[in-house]
Amino acid sequence: MSTSLVEAVGLTREYRRPRRPPIRALDGVDLAIRPGETLGLVGESGCGKSTLGRLLLRLDRPTAGSVRFEGRDLAACDAATLRSLRRRFQIVFQDPYTALNPRLTIGASVSEGLEVHRLAAGAKLRRRVGGLLEEVGLDPADADRYPHELSGGQRQRVGIARALAVEPVFLVCDEPVSALDVSVRAQILALLRRLQERHGLTMLFIAHDLAAVRQVAHRIAVMYLGRVVEEAEADRLVRHPLHPYTRALLSAVPDLDPARGRSRIVLEGDPAGGGVGAGGCAFAGRCWHPARDDRCRREAPMLRTVADTLVACHHAERDPMTTGVPAP
Ligand code: ADP
Ligand code: MG
């Protein structure tokens, strides 16, 4: 019996391209999210975060590997089962403006799921919508307004109310605060944390920014070019990062950086240009770890346990910061 609500096993997704080899957006990802847990997923733009989110919600199909929900393989579910599961999965997108239909009032947008799944109608529906708007920090009277009348933060609150309306058990938030001002960001993150606790939601929280992920996630997985390179309990990952890529991400967030005061680790080149082709560690071309060697270029490191952390680095036992070699 599995204790995870959602589980990915060897999840791989390739996208075909004309006259070029396919892009492997996701490369054999294993991941498990426990009931009531928020897993943070962080990594540079293009590393496969949204692809993973879509596959977990069965909005897309994997090239290889599988997704299990409550122990059931989603690929093996019949259409009726999948339909009933759909209601229990919801997604909150980055850009609340394009996620909302501009011609629908806020009330109509929030009602949509309730009507589709026949969960409420008439006066009961209006009461439920008012309650949802209040729960996300809006005025029930906002139900009569249109998206363009709201601020970015208010629109994201609507996006969250819409997702919550059908009482999901699993919520994917794909960069929900990336488009918002810093001041609004903290409020939305606090709201998500509160809702997660109150409803016992299981969440995948995606962001390219570790500071945002840190505020909501119980556990954090770091992705690099379609693979998870480090995964640990949130505090541990932030205080004792083991992968040189995680270190670099942390050094961009001065408040979190365990090596505070040292110079920022700036990774050169883009991720796609950093790889060394088949076989080696995908991060080798950009790696600044003083112990990096020939093995990194020959042999891809597997995810393994080092001091309560899962990490994919041959040299995870050696702390790169204390070996005295300056970052590039
Ligand atoms: P992230 O969310 O981390 O920014 P994505 O999952 O959106 O990354 O994309 C991962 C990789 O897959 C990128 O190289 C992207 O260009 C590619 N990709 C994503 N979706 C598609 C698609 N529908 N068709 C072709 N390539 C895609
Ligand atoms: Mg994305």
CA of 22 to the centre of ligand 2 (A): 19
Can you give the pTM of this predicted structure? 0.93
What is the bridge-based pairing of β-strands 219-224 and 38-42? Answer: parallel
Place of tokens 């990062």: 241
- Which residues is 223 bridged to in the sheet? 228
pLDDT at 266: 78
pLDDT at 272: 60
pLDDT at 148: 94
* Whether the CB of 49 sits within 6 Å of ligand 1: yes
Residues of the chain under the 50 pLDDT cut: 1, 273-276, 324-328
Q: Which atom of ligand 1 is nearest to the CA of 26?
A: 10
- Do 39 and 31 contact (CB within 8 A), yes or no? yes
pLDDT at 30: 97
> Quick one: CA torsion of 149, 151, 156, 157, rounded to 10 degrees?
-80
Distance CA 138, CA 327 (A): 46
Nearest protein CA to atom 27 of ligand 1, as residue: 15
pLDDT at 140: 97
Among the bound ligands, name the one nearest to the CA of residue 178. Answer: 2
* Whether the CB of 13 sits within 6 Å of ligand 1: no
> Candidates 15, 204, 245: which one to mutate for ligand 1, based on the most atoms within 8 Å of Cβ?
15
Among 314, 301, 207, 278, residue whose Cα is nearest residue 24:
278
CA of 250 to the centre of ligand 1 (A): 24
* Whether the CB of 50 sits within 6 Å of ligand 1: yes
Distance CA 33, CA 225 (A): 21
pLDDT at 84: 86
CA of 47 to the centre of ligand 2 (A): 8
pLDDT at 2: 57
Nearest protein CA to atom 25 of ligand 1, as residue: 15
pLDDT at 273: 46
Among 301, 302, 269, 306, residue whose Cα is nearest residue 288:
269
CA of 245 to the centre of ligand 1 (A): 20
* Whether the CB of 270 sits within 6 Å of ligand 1: no
Nearest protein CA to atom 1 of ligand 1, as residue: 46
